[in-house]
């Protein structure tokens, strides 16, 4: 459906270092202007004390160290799991008397610190509840906890709603009063800043934790959660992720991350952010999507490799089940989009797409929304039944369109449509009555149309331009691989170019293996387009490309039987 290529503009830059020329162009196109901005040293982090509330949070936590009972209440995704594991590991390592965690089952309790979760938590008699990656939309739950005499520390990164929770302390870089220099922190990043402030306070106390790990020991968890949550990789997050990757490559990570990467077939020695995003994160997320995220948290808390391996195997099986469910739902969703018009390109005349099926699984609708968004270039909300006439939806947006603000505007124009919502720029969740679905779909389409200013052109894909034939090489691929971490708002480099497809065949049912030649050069390249055929509906079989085509691709270092080879990873096959 993507029919037009837009090449990123290359700004002026002076790196002064011996960077690969392609990498220089890529950095300049992402707004990097000098080599100092490329440093991933910990000293480049925004100072801990500049995040509002961390010092008060540290004092609140420190008062619980000797006799308090701290209960961490996390979210049910990878960001929430890593945040929970980080907080539990740090407090236990620093000699807190009693530390436990609780993760709401999304199918029973929904999202956040609800009054029902507080009632369940109260059975453990906590003196302090700490929310991680949630809490800003939990005014009723926080009030219920305070009424029971339980102190509450909210650590979150989601945008606040109209009513702030009455917590003892709130730490959130996206609070309206915050002046912190990075609003892009994931929930695990906020948790990291809180434990960093706590460690500094404990070190200055009369009973500092002797021989205990410092906050930097938990950067492997920070890297995984940050990458998994798709928050923008601004300068601060690039440092956090870069340092975490460095620890994992050096095998200084928790056994759970080691086990997840192993079962995903990812090498730690040259690990990239993409390996976390597509290897470890989906398996961790599968627990919260289909079962109970406690399995994932226990994996990240496991101290023995054998125990971590057993839990990682369970997560891998859940991920296989999730993929099967997602594949069916995605096929149904794309068929529904096609039915909106004669072709997919006509279907996406709708500004925003709302999808629903009675048989869909509420734990997987977010993935389906993301897939359909990629195919159509439109923001998408996918809904699934949640019982008793209620639907739960997950939204995925496009660059330049703040999806949480779109939902906020709909709620203002139509106060009775949405029961509950929350989220951030690129992703959000919401609940509404089944009877309101059609009216919501119209309101969503209309509001997206109003809000499209500054949003990406749906029929356009951005690239880093065309590579010269001699630049399509293994050394270029290696330089780009080492130039990360790449991720949200700091995208992995991709290029476009004209190729002759000399041979194309289907592998693994849905992947397209190709042998390419650059016209009039004599140079040929091995290439693969993963999942290229996943929505093919032709009864006679897929139509394979042949002859000249314009490809959007990335360079990859493919290691096979100890040999490193160049491979092109093709994202789009377009007419020449």
DSSP letter string over 130-157? EEES--TT-HHHHHHHHHTT-EEEEE--
Best CA proximity match to 94, nearest among 62, 50, 120: 62
The per-residue pLDDT of the chain, averaged, comes to: 90
Best CA proximity match to 430, nearest among 453, 414, 449, 451: 414
Mind listing the pLDDT tens digit for each residue in 45-62?
999 999 999 999 999 999
Q: Say yes or no to pLDDT of 458 above 80.
A: no
The 3-state secondary structure of 381-450 reads EEEEECCCCEEEEEEECCCCCCHHHHHHHHHHHCCCCEEEEEECCCEEEEEEEHHHHHHHHHHHHHHHHH
In this structure, what token pair is assigned to residue 542? 């897929």
Range name among 88-102, 192-206, 332-346 with the lowest pLDDT average: 332-346
Q: What percent of the chain has pLDDT over 70?
A: 94
pLDDT for the residue 346 = 45
pLDDT for the residue 349 = 63
CB burial readout 319-346, b (16+ within 10 A) else e? beebeebbbbbbeebbeebeeeeeeeee
3: Cα within 13 Å, side-chain hemisphere? 8
pLDDT for the residue 331 = 85
Q: Residue 386 pairs with which residues in a beta bridge?
A: none
DSSP letter at 313 equals H
pLDDT for the residue 454 = 52
Phi then psi dihedrals of residue 19, to 5 deg: -85, 155
Tell me the C-alpha distance between 171 and 553, whole Å: 41
Q: Say yes or no to pLDDT of 391 above 50.
A: yes
- Residue pair 266/275 in contact by the 8 Å Cβ criterion: yes
Mind listing the pLDDT tens digit for each residue in 160-169?
878 899 999 9
Q: How many CB atoms within 10 Å of residue 296? A: 33
Q: Say yes or no to pLDDT of 1 above 90.
A: no
Mind listing the pLDDT tens digit for each residue in 34-47?
888 999 999 999 99
pLDDT for the residue 332 = 86
Tell me the C-alpha distance between 196 and 217, whole Å: 11
Residue range 543-555: average pLDDT? 89
More confident: 339 or 404: 404
CATH of region 42-317: 3.90.1640.30
Q: What percent of the chain has pLDDT over 90?
A: 68
DSSP letter at 567 equals E
Is the CA virtual torsion 508, 509, 510, 513 positive or negative? positive
128-132 β-sheet, strand order: 99-102, 70-74, 128-132, 151-155, 169-171
| CATH 3.90.950.20 corresponds to the domain 462-574 | no
- Residue pair 496/535 in contact by the 8 Å Cβ criterion: no
DSSP letter at 565 equals E
Mind listing the pLDDT tens digit for each residue in 293-345?
899 999 999 999 999 999 999 999 999 999 888 888 888 888 877 776 544 44
pLDDT for the residue 342 = 45
> 3-state DSSP call for residue 517?
strand
Tell me the C-alpha distance between 430 and 396, whole Å: 12
pLDDT for the residue 455 = 55
- Residue pair 229/428 in contact by the 8 Å Cβ criterion: no
pLDDT for the residue 538 = 44
Q: Say yes or no to pLDDT of 146 above 90.
A: yes
pLDDT for the residue 162 = 81
Q: Say yes or no to pLDDT of 536 above 60.
A: no
Q: Among the residues of 204-304, which ranges form H helices?
A: 219-228, 235-249, 255-263, 273-275, 281-290, 294-301
Rounded to 10 deg, the angle between the 474-482 and 21-29 helix axes is 40
Domain segments of the chain as ranges: 42-317, 340-451, 462-574
Q: Say yes or no to pLDDT of 540 above 60.
A: no
Tell me the C-alpha distance between 19 and 80, whole Å: 37
pLDDT for the residue 389 = 92
pLDDT for the residue 507 = 87
Best CA proximity match to 329, nearest among 366, 282, 292: 366
Mind listing the pLDDT tens digit for each residue in 205-234?
999 998 899 999 999 999 999 999 989 999
Tell me the C-alpha distance between 192 and 247, whole Å: 15
More confident: 531 or 566: 566
Tell me the C-alpha distance between 224 and 379, whole Å: 26
Tell me the C-alpha distance between 492 and 5, whole Å: 16
The residues, any chain, with a CB within 8 Å of residue 99's CB and separated by 6 or more, are 70, 72, 88, 91, 92
pLDDT for the residue 344 = 43
Best CA proximity match to 472, nearest among 518, 412, 505, 529: 518
Q: Say yes or no to pLDDT of 375 above 90.
A: no
pLDDT for the residue 341 = 54
> 3-state DSSP call for residue 80?
helix
CA quadruple 326, 331, 335, 337: dihedral, nearest 10: 40
Tell me the C-alpha distance between 295 and 287, whole Å: 6
pLDDT for the residue 106 = 67
Q: State the fold for domain 340-451.
A: Diaminopimelate Epimerase; Chain A, domain 1 (3.10.310)
Q: Say yes or no to pLDDT of 361 above 60.
A: yes
Q: Say yes or no to pLDDT of 348 above 80.
A: no
Query: For residue 542, what pLDDT band results from cuts at 50, 70 and 90?
Result: low
Mind listing the pLDDT tens digit for each residue in 465-521?
999 999 999 999 999 999 999 998 999 999 999 999 988 888 877 889 999 999 888
pLDDT for the residue 11 = 84
Best CA proximity match to 553, nearest among 533, 572, 574, 534: 572
Q: Say yes or no to pLDDT of 447 above 60.
A: yes
């Amino acid at each position: 459906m993507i029919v037009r290529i837009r090449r990123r503009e290359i700004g002026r830059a002076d790196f002064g270092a011996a960077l690969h020329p392609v990498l220089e162009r890529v950095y300049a196109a992402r707004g990097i202007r000098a080599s100092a901005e490329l440093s991933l040293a910990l000293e480049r982090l925004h100072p801990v004390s500049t995040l509002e509330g961390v010092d008060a949070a540290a004092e609140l936590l420190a008062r619980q160290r000797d006799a308090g009972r701290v209960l961490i209440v996390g979210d049910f995704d990878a960001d929430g799991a890593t945040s929970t594991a980080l907080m539990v590991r740090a407090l236990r390592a620093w000699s807190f008397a009693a530390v436990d965690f609780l993760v709401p089952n999304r199918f029973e309790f929904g999202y956040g610190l609800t009054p029902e979760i507080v009632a369940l938590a109260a059975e453990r008699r906590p003196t302090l509840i700490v929310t991680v990656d949630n809490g800003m939309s939990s005014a009723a739950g926080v009030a219920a906890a305070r009424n029971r005499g339980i102190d509450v520390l909210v650590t979150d990164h989601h945008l606040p709603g109209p009513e702030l929770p009455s917590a003892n302390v709130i730490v959130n870089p996206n609070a309206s009063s915050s002046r912190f220099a990075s609003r892009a922190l994931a929930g695990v990043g906020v948790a990291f800043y809180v434990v960093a402030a706590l460690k500094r306070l404990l070190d200055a106390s009369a009973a500092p934790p002797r021989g205990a790990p410092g906050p930097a020991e938990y950067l492997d968890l920070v890297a995984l959660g940050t990458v998994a949550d798709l928050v923008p990789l601004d300068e601060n997050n690039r440092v956090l992720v870069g340092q975490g990757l460095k620890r994992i490559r050096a095998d200084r990570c928790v056994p759970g991350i080691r086990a997840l990467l192993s079962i995903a077939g990812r090498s730690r020695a040259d690990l990239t952010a993409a390996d976390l995003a597509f290897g470890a994160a989906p398996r961790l997320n599968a627990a919260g999507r289909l079962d109970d995220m406690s399995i994932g948290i226990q994996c990240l808390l496991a101290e023995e490799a054998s125990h971590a391996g057993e839990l990682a195997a369970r997560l891998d099986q859940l991920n296989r089940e999730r993929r099967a469910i997602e594949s069916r739902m995605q096929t149904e969703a794309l068929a529904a989009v096609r039915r909106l018009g004669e072709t997919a390109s006509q279907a996406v005349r709708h500004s925003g797409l709302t999808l629903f099926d009675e048989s869909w699984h509420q734990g997987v609708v977010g993935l389906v929304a993301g897939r359909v968004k990629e195919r159509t270039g439109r923001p998408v909300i996918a809904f699934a039944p949640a019982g008793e006439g209620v639907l739960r939806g997950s939204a995925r947006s496009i660059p330049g369109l703040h999806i949480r603000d779109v939902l906020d505007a709909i709620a203002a124009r139509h106060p009775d449509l949405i029961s509950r919502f929350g989220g951030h720029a690129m992703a959000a969740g919401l609940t509404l009555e089944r009877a309101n679905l059609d009216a919501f779909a119209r309101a969503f389409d209309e509001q997206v149309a109003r809000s499209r200013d500054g949003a990406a052109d749906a029929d356009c894909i951005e690239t880093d331009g065309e590579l010269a034939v001699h630049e399509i090489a293994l050394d270029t691929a290696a330089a780009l691989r080492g130039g990360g971490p790449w991720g949200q708002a700091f995208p992995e480099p991709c290029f476009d170019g004209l190729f002759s497809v000399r041979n194309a065949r289907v592998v693994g049912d849905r992947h397209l293996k190709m042998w390419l030649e650059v016209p009039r050069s004599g140079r040929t390249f091995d290439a693969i387009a993963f999942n290229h055929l996943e929505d093919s509906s032709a009864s006679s079989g897929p139509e394979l490309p042949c002859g000249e085509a314009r490809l959007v691709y990335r360079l990859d270092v493919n290691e096979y039987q100890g040999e490193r080879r160049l491979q092109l990873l093709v994202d789009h096959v377009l007419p020449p």
